[in-house]
Structure 1
């Protein structure tokens, strides 16, 4: 039985594994979830040709994207009841675009809702992961407005910071509840309605034992990373480690989002293209060390990456640069503040005995056993239920 209706504004469904997508996959087991693909965080540029073509393709197939190029959604995959590739103007902070998008999106979403029979008394949750979705507030008869702040947009690359900050400020005023992915992000919002909601993990999936896939490196020692290969990686650190340990293969899985990436000039640094998130465990379960080589900047200091808890569930030694989110798990993670420390920590991780590796795996998984996506959904649902009850009580008085 469906308890609530969810109208969710997020990134393009399936484009990359966001926290909101994981949460809504779990919510679909009990609720009606209607997903609206991204309407953009900046005005398009002449260099955005590929992205514009991708968005046009989505008008025929809302899940078409260039991120997971070799994967299309199957009928058995968990996904929302409806996925909408909206017609809208990507121009944050512009009042004319706000008015036009409000009309366009309201019409499209109502048409989407009308395709399904639902109890008119079902509570309706408007969940906004992107501030630009605020234009539909109060137009969809929602009962609760939720802002999920998964990123610090003021530090995020590829965003029109000033305009998106304006959209976020206006959204925060209207939101009934704000969920923040990290302490740094939570501190930016009103404390009376802001709750910490760290990323979760599919513990069962990322604890799996897998055979080596066909494209796995033929190497006895593999240090692995998966995720976007972009400017938040410390390329100088990576190349330092590759030169210092030529006997190790450094495997990077993900989409390269910068031009002239310098690390793949080294023979012992290998790249595999991005793949469905569910496939990553086949590689990560077999490498010896999981790597998080982030730079130190505002975006990283505010982040709480999905891969952190997934790496812990995998249970291999984790080698990471220092940033706030990783310190919560410092007992189980090899953390370094400079290149030489990173190399020393790597060398230490690679000589652990079988008994030490088993103990580390048990301790790592223990740290995330209560952080499943189902547990996160229960927490969100409990807070929303309380908010709905409070609103009903106010209406009755």
Structure 2
């Protein structure tokens, strides 16, 4: 995820970083996270940062406000101790990646606050008045607001917009590198060409119905979906559930399951076309995304086709074909297979190099130094 890419690189550059996804919740008692946790918490050094694993003692319990506040305070204090912020003279930055973390930001009372907006939160299904309040509190408190796309901050107030810097998603060129020739994965090698590849979680944002429609019309084209099938998401949406059921009866749609991120480049490299096949609806968050996979695809050099996502249209139309309807997708696939798609392989690779995570962190680091100075 973008937070891992950003924080690990800051850590590599000498910034002392501690990461936490918050205190345990009493309702998580049967979850893997709870079962794997220790009573007193633990710190793991990984990927150039300190990862704080929450303790089981005094979990959050929203039903009882005092208990919940004590849990937040205890967790925040543990974070300070873990990164040696015990003295009053110590200064630090709180960097939040979701409105849910506002209570911790408020309790930590850091010298500076950065809020990174990586999704259009107001269009997410979990959005409610409580999350909106935390969101506005973070926006107002933040000294710096970064956003993965311009579309994610269109509704902010003028005062909030004055604090915004656009920090697009990037690509890890150490692994998504066309100069590295990866062997074809065993489960992919069994699938005939042409292969149309989609990587990432398979939830309701993926337009499975469109994929099924094209797969029926062109049985010689093989759709390869690499990622976790999010049944909880798909089964609550009749459109997606129907398409999922149909896809299981088609021999040219292949679900290869979730893979380690280090394995993904090999799959993308041994495809014929890499796609971002999203279901675009104005009332949902997908319309504002900057897909994490976009620059990864471009770095591989194969033809790329995308649904009409605002960021892709505005920034990448010279190297990415845009398709909305099933017929437009068929035309784009034919163009990619027969003519190499939009742009050349070199064009795609060169653009990806301009959008590396290292370049993104160059910008972020500059903005952080401006805060501190």
TM range (shorter): 0.7 to 0.9
- Within the candidate set 100, 114, 117, 1:146 is matched to 114
Query: Contact 2:9–2:48 at 8 Å: present in 1 too?
Result: no
Question: How far off is 1:107 after superposition?
Answer: 2.8
Name structure 2 gaps, 5 residues minimum.
236-240
- 2:355 aligns to what? 371
- The 5 A counterparts of 1:291-370 are 291-297=275-281, 298-327=284-313, 328-352=315-339, 360-370=344-354
CA distance in 2: counterparts of 1:200 and 1:346, whole angstroms: 25
Distance 1:118 1:82, change over 3 A: farther
CA distance in 2: counterparts of 1:173 and 1:166, whole angstroms: 11
CA distance in 1: counterparts of 2:55 and 2:155, whole angstroms: 30
Question: How far off is 1:113 after superposition?
Answer: 2.6
- Within the candidate set 179, 183, 200, 1:211 is matched to 183
Question: How far off is 1:101 after superposition?
Answer: 4.0
CA distance in 1: counterparts of 2:147 and 2:53, whole angstroms: 25
Matched, 1:276 2:243: no
Matched, 1:108 2:78: yes
Question: How far off is 1:53 after superposition?
Answer: 1.2
CA distance in 2: counterparts of 1:386 and 1:107, whole angstroms: 27
CA distance in 1: counterparts of 2:106 and 2:86, whole angstroms: 20
Query: Contact 2:119–2:152 at 8 Å: present in 1 too?
Result: yes
Question: How far off is 1:136 after superposition?
Answer: 2.6
Question: How far off is 1:220 after superposition?
Answer: 2.3
Distance 1:248 1:379, change over 3 A: same
Query: RMSD of the TM alignment (CA)?
Result: 3.0
- 1:196 aligns to what? 166
CA distance in 2: counterparts of 1:361 and 1:375, whole angstroms: 21
Name structure 1 gaps, 5 residues minimum.
1-17, 64-73, 390-397
Q: By percentage of residues, which structure has more helix?
A: 2
Question: How far off is 1:300 after superposition?
Answer: 1.1
Q: Which deviates more, 95-104 or 141-150?
A: 95-104
CA distance in 1: counterparts of 2:88 and 2:355, whole angstroms: 34
- Within the candidate set 257, 260, 273, 2:230 is matched to 257
Normalising by the residue count of structure 2, what TM-score does the alignment of the two structures yield?
0.84
Query: Contact 1:200–1:309 at 8 Å: present in 2 too?
Result: yes
CA distance in 2: counterparts of 1:118 and 1:27, whole angstroms: 22
- 2:238 aligns to what? none
